[in-house]
Structure formats: C-alpha cells, structure tokens
Amino acid sequence: MSGYGLADSGLLSSKAAGPLPWPLAERPFVIAEIGINHNGDLNIAKRLIDEAKAAGCDAVKFQKRTIDIVYTAEVLEQPRQSPWGATQRAQKEGLEFGASEYDAIDAYCRQLEMAWFASAWDLPSQTFLAKYNLKFNKIASAMLTHMPLVKAVAEEGKLTFASTGMCTLGQIDQAVEIFRQANCPFILMHTVSTYPTPPADLNLLAIMTLRQRYGVPVGYSGHESLVEPSLLAAALGAVVIERHITLDRTMYGSDQAASLEPQELKLLVSRLRELPSWAGSGDKRIMPGEASVAEKLRYWNG
C-alpha cells in the first residue's frame, strides 16, 4: 500500500519515542476520511482518493451502513430535501455505496497502492467489508457502545481504530476490555463528535488522558475546518491523524463543512512530516550557525 504500516512502525508501543516526555510519532499515520463526502458519486470518490494520494496520505476511509438497520422506519419516512428526493430514506440511500461501487474502489485503491478501509455501522456491513480482506478496521464513535459490533470487529483481530466521541470513560473501558480479551490490536482516537467542532471544544489534552489511562497509542480524528489542531495533536503524541476531506466545503452534505479541501490536506500532511524535525532531540546545545552569530552579537566575547 502507501508504504507505511502501523504494525511495523513501532507506533503500537505505548512507550515514549526518544527523549521527549510524550511519544511524538516519527511519522504520524494519516487517514483521509472520505466517509459520505462522495455524495453517492463514484467519480467523486475516485477524485478524493486521488487527492489523498497526491497529498501523501497513508489510507482513505469510507462508511458502510445498512439503512434499514441503522435507522427506524419512522426516521426514514421523515421529510428531508436532498438531491435524491424528499425523505430521509431517499437521502441516506443516495449516499450509500453498494457492492459494485466498493468493488471499483477496491480495484482503484489497489491500482494506486493506497490502503482503504471503512467503518461499519451494523453487523451485516461488517460482514460485507470482510470480503475485501482490508488491513484495518474502524469503529465510529456512534458505534463504540454497540457491543455486539465491537465484539465482531475485535474477533477479526485486525488493527482497529476506535473513535471515542460522545463516550464516557466508563463506556471506553468496556470497549477496551473487549479488544484486550480478543487480543486485538487497537488505537483509541480522541474525537469530538460535532460537525464542524468549535475550536474551544477540541479538548486535545484528552489525547494524553486516554494514553495515560489505557497505556495504549492514541490518535486524533478531527472535525474542525482548521489544519493547526492536528499539528498540536501530533505534538501531544497522536500517532494517527484522521481528517475528513472534500473537494469543496460548499458541496452538499452534512460532513463537508467539517472537512479539509485538497490544498489544506496537502499542507497538513507536509507539516506533519516536518514536525519531528521541528521538535528536535531536546538536547540543549549550540545549533549549527549559532556560533558565527554569537561572534557578531557578543562583542564582549562572553
């Protein structure tokens, strides 16, 4: 795939990397979440995959739902105007990819050597995704308290990204116990489930709280329309950065406003790759180039 496997990277270690008092990842794993921002259009999905590849992301992520399981009949009958009709059912079915689209996505990503995976919102969707032999699993924040689904994912034994938005520590405890009993490797993802998230609500120090409580690597799944918080998340030790992406934030869709546009995605990935060099070793020493400056400025030769 795109040349970066978490299992072989050392990022699954809970120990700090280097002399820093927190584990600054040498190379954060970057996930471009397409989710439903493809608006039911396979060509848009492919364009978003192209943008993720061009930006240097490590993987792209989608969502898979069985509409009649995830939503009640009453909800699906409610009115909602969308490009596909005037009901909630029409809108949600319009955004849902099936086997033909995922077959095409799988072939396209393999052609580009881009890892892909998806978060299942119900058990049949998890079974559906299993046929693609994907490297990773993802549990969305809304599903972390769906214990049958968490157990099914854990039993597959794949490295799983588990988002923790809308969850108490007690609820996270239950999911963590399931992963540990199944001996399934996992990375907790600090998340705030508002779209977009107000900057004052990001609570990025929770990354350290989760790592200290569970002794596992932690990532960050952001829903803000900014680049900078993801850099701070990485500096706080997030080994994975996941961000929604879009071709244009003004497009139709509930997640578009909480997404990064292509140029912002490229900026984020390039800055994340530079971050470890900015942090340095932590050793206090005269840096290259400082000696000549000292000669000019320390006229008393102190």
Task: Say if residue 51's pLDDT is above 50.
Answer: yes
Q: Which residue has the higher pLDDT, 237 or 245?
A: 245
- Going by the DSSP 8-state scheme, the letter that residue 41 receives in this structure is -
Tokens of 124: 């049949």
* Amino acid in the structure at residue 61: K
Query: Could you tell me the pTM of the whole model?
Result: 0.91
Q: Encode pLDDT of 5-17 as tens digits.
A: 555 545 555 443 3
Give the pLDDT mean for 149-162: 97
Give the pLDDT mean for 204-225: 95
* Amino acid in the structure at residue 24: L
Asked whether the beta carbons of 4 and 29 are under 8 A apart, the reply is yes
The answer for residues whose C-beta is within 8 angstroms of residue 188's C-beta and 6 or more apart is 162, 164, 172, 176, 210, 214, 216, 217, 218, 219
The answer for residues whose C-beta is within 8 angstroms of residue 164's C-beta and 6 or more apart is 141, 144, 172, 188, 189, 190, 191, 210
User: What would be the CATH architecture of the domain defined by 20-297?
Assistant: Alpha-Beta Barrel (3.20)
Question: Please, which residues bridge with residue 139 across strands?
Answer: 162
Question: Please, which residues bridge with residue 191 across strands?
Answer: 221
Element (H, E) at 138: strand 136-139
Asked whether the beta carbons of 17 and 25 are under 8 A apart, the reply is yes
Q: Could you give the residue ranges of the DSSP H alpha helices within the chain?
A: 42-55, 67-70, 73-77, 88-94, 99-112, 123-130, 147-156, 169-181, 206-214, 228-235, 262-279, 290-297
Tell me, what's the pLDDT at 12?
Answer: 56
Query: Cα–Cα distance between 92 and 84 in angstroms, integer?
Result: 9
Tell me, what's the pLDDT at 282?
Answer: 82
Query: Between vectors from CA 76 to CA 74 and to CA 79, what angle results, nearest 5°?
Result: 95
The answer for residues whose C-beta is within 8 angstroms of residue 230's C-beta and 6 or more apart is 220, 222, 238, 241, 243, 268, 272
Give the pLDDT mean for 107-123: 98
Tell me, what's the pLDDT at 300?
Answer: 76
Backbone φ and ψ of 40, nearest 5°:
75, 10
